[in-house]
Structure 1
Amino acid sequence: MLLQKLEQLTTLFAEMETAMIAYSGGIDSTLVAKIAVDALGDRAIAITAESPSLLPEDLEDARVQAAEMGIAHKVVQTHEMDNPNYSSNPVNRCYFCKSELHDTLKPMAMQWGYPYVVDGVNADDLHDYRPGIQAAKERGARSPLAEVGVTKAEVRELSKHLGLPWWDKPSQPCLSSRFPYGEEITIAKLQRVGRSEVYLRKLGWQNLRVRSEGDTARIEVLPDQVKEFVIQTDLPQLVSALQSYGFLYVTLDLEGYRSGKLNQVLELAAANQK
């Protein structure tokens, strides 16, 4: 079944003839880029959007991965932070982010002769609250993984099958996802979150988030690592480091990391309206 989906994806790209991939360097868009370059060679190109919500380390990862896959790669600047509809952080913030991305990429694709901008949306994403998907669809983007029904778990399986060394790379959504809806996002806030997460990664914690709520950093590690984190981490040194980045208070979420946790306020609001 999995190899059948890979064959379908390969055929899909062959039928496209050319493809421009909206490539963040994450596991989903990297798999799309790999299959595209295998099918199309130099008729595929990967474009990474650079903005304050992308860690410099993640941009470098994207460059390294693209080079290893042998796909042409370009970096463009996007300016979603200039849009108050984005920086005010409404519940549909991602809509304005993806609008900016695809409003930047689509004219480039048309000018360079690419009929489609292709993204890394997978089948599981369609069942989550992802307003950015609507923005991409409105601008004619295609989502091969979702079209073929490839789930997040299958993305990793296919990546491993194709020999991608980063098949188990943790998910790393944009830094703006670390803020509760309604809290204004600024470049300074993004930078302190980013520096905090890089600091924790260097300590060996890979699956994590540093949520920002006002002047408080709330650290999330995997649930089964919470106890280990407390025992192994030099907590005073950790607090000092995150305070040097701009936080006043440093806390640990005892529930642990759970993808989409900030969306639970939307679920609660919907339940209260029933």
Structure 2
Amino acid sequence: MHDLGRLAIALSGGVDSTLLAAVARRCLGRDHVLALHVQGPFIAGDESTRAAAWAAAADITLVTVTVDMLANESIRCNDPERCYHCKKRLMTTLLAIARNAGFPLLADGMNLDDPGDYRPGIRAADELGVRHPLFDTGWAKADIRRGALALNLPNHDAPAAACLASRIPAGMAVDADKLRAVDAGEEALLALGFRGARLRHYGDLAKIEVDPGDLETAFARREALLRAMRELGFRSVALDLAGYRRGAVNGASADDASDTKHPL
């Protein structure tokens, strides 16, 4: 990493980019690292809070950027390439800020496990020359968690997070109301004890995915789950019997996952 010189890092608040920023701070020094965090309706509110708190504690310069992704029709329409359009706009904005601040390189937290999923956003980042130091080092998620634990990072065991729009199936338009419902719904799931759970937004239907080990608890808390989701405006609530799967709605429609939904 020493050969990267002055490095800007897209800091989401997740363990991958947090570890990258921590290592960069140690290797390059405070004045040679700039963390850039995007806030907006696509990002869960607690992620922005965590990112700001950690950067301050780690003595890393953080610039928080507000980007209105919903202003872009290609993103709002939510076709299978939404992630490409979103990442292209996001990284273009961050690159301009970084270079204006004297940081010619921008890096993200992509790791060895990421390309196996359907991620057109990776293509957009590559087209812009965004660096992937963790991937280039050959680190997978398990390596990153071990490294984060060794550095006593507070999110070393935090569940994987993702853009809130990833909870809305391709072909269903993305809007601020849906994103707020997803964010509030996942906060409610966390409050009920379901760590790392997902709320998939299918219009009037909320599909809940919890860790497979939490399925029995979800059945036991059926009434609380129904109440929480209906307070957010959902008419129907379903529990996915397969449990949480990474990338469950990538390029999928509501019908694609219907055989594992259990009505609550």
Structure 2 residue aligned with 1:3: none
- Per the TM alignment, residue 251 of structure 1 is displaced from its structure 2 partner at its CA by 1.4
> What is the aligned partner in structure 1 of residue 119 from structure 2?
130
In the comparison of the two structures, how many residue pairs are matched?
254
8 Å contact from structure 1 (residues 79, 100) kept in 2: no
The counterpart of 1:247, out of the listed 234, 257, 260, is: 234
Q: Structure 2: how far apart are the matches of 1:243 and 1:129? A: 31
Q: Write the letter of the residue equivalent to 2:44.
A: L
Give the deviation of 1:264 after TM superposition. 7.2
In structure 1, how many angstroms separate the alpha carbons of the residues matched to 2:188 and 2:252? Answer: 28
1:172-187 alignment, distance < 5 Å: 172-187=161-176
Name the CA distance, whole Å, in 1 between partners of 2:53 and 2:219: 33
Counting helix residues as a fraction of each chain, which structure ranks higher? 1
Offset of residue 114 of structure 1: 0.7
Percent identity at matched positions? 38
Residue 238 (structure 1) shift: 2.7
| Per-residue Cα deviation, 1:232-268 (whole angstroms, up to 9, x for no partner) | x2x33332222221211111111111111123749xx
Task: Give yes or no for contact 1:41–1:71 (8 Å, CA) kept in 2.
Answer: no
Q: Partners in 2 of 1:141 and 1:97 — Cα distance?
A: 15
Aligned residue for 1:16? 4
Q: Is structure 2 residue 223 aligned with structure 1 residue 236? A: yes
Q: Aligned match of 1:99 in 88, 94, 104?
A: 88
C-alpha contact 1:80 1:96 (8 A) present in aligned 2? no
Instruction: Note if contact 1:192-1:247 (Cα within 8 Å) is conserved in structure 2.
Output: no
1:68, distance to aligned residue in structure 2 (A): 2.3
Query: Aligned residue for 2:212?
Result: 223
Q: Distance in 2 between matches of 1:61 and 1:184?
A: 29
Q: Is the 8 A contact 2:194 2:214 kept in 1?
A: no
Residue aligned with 1:261, SS: coil
The answer for unaligned runs of 5 or more in structure 1 is: 1-11, 270-274
Distance in structure 2 (CA, Å) of the matches to 1:244 and 1:20: 41
Deviating 4+ runs (over 6 angstroms): none
Counterpart residue type for residue 140 of structure 2: T
Instruction: Tell me the alpha carbon deviations over residues 12-64 of structure 1, each in whole angstroms, 9 at most, x when there is no partner.
Output: 2x111111100110111111111111112221011101110111111101111
Give unmatched runs, 5+ long, in structure 2: 257-264
Cα distance in 2 for partners of 1:38, 1:210 equals 37
1:7 corresponding residue in structure 2: none
1:35 matches 2:23: yes
| More deviation, 63-72/142-151 | 63-72
Which AA in structure 1 matches 2:147? L
Rounded Cα–Cα distance in structure 2 between residues aligned with 1:237 and 1:207: 18
Maintained 8 Å contact 2:20/2:109? yes
The match for 2:57 among 65, 68, 88 is 68
Contact 1:196 1:242 in 2 (8 A): yes
Rounded Cα–Cα distance in structure 2 between residues aligned with 1:129 and 1:263? 7
Partner of 2:262: none
The Cα of 1:149 is off from its aligned counterpart by: 1.0
Change (3 A) 1:180 1:264: closer
Q: For residue 116 of structure 1, what is the aligned residue in structure 2? A: 105
In 1, Cα distance between equivalents of 2:155 and 2:41: 24
RMSD of the alignment, in Å? 1.7
Equivalent residue in structure 2 for 1:79, among 62, 65, 68 = 68
Offset of residue 197 of structure 1: 0.4
Aligned to 1:154: 143
CA contact (8 A) 1:218 1:253 kept: yes
Which position in structure 2 is the counterpart of 1:258?
245
Distance in 1 (CA, whole Å) between partners of 2:249 and 2:168 is 8
Task: Please name the residue that 1:168 is paired with.
Answer: 157
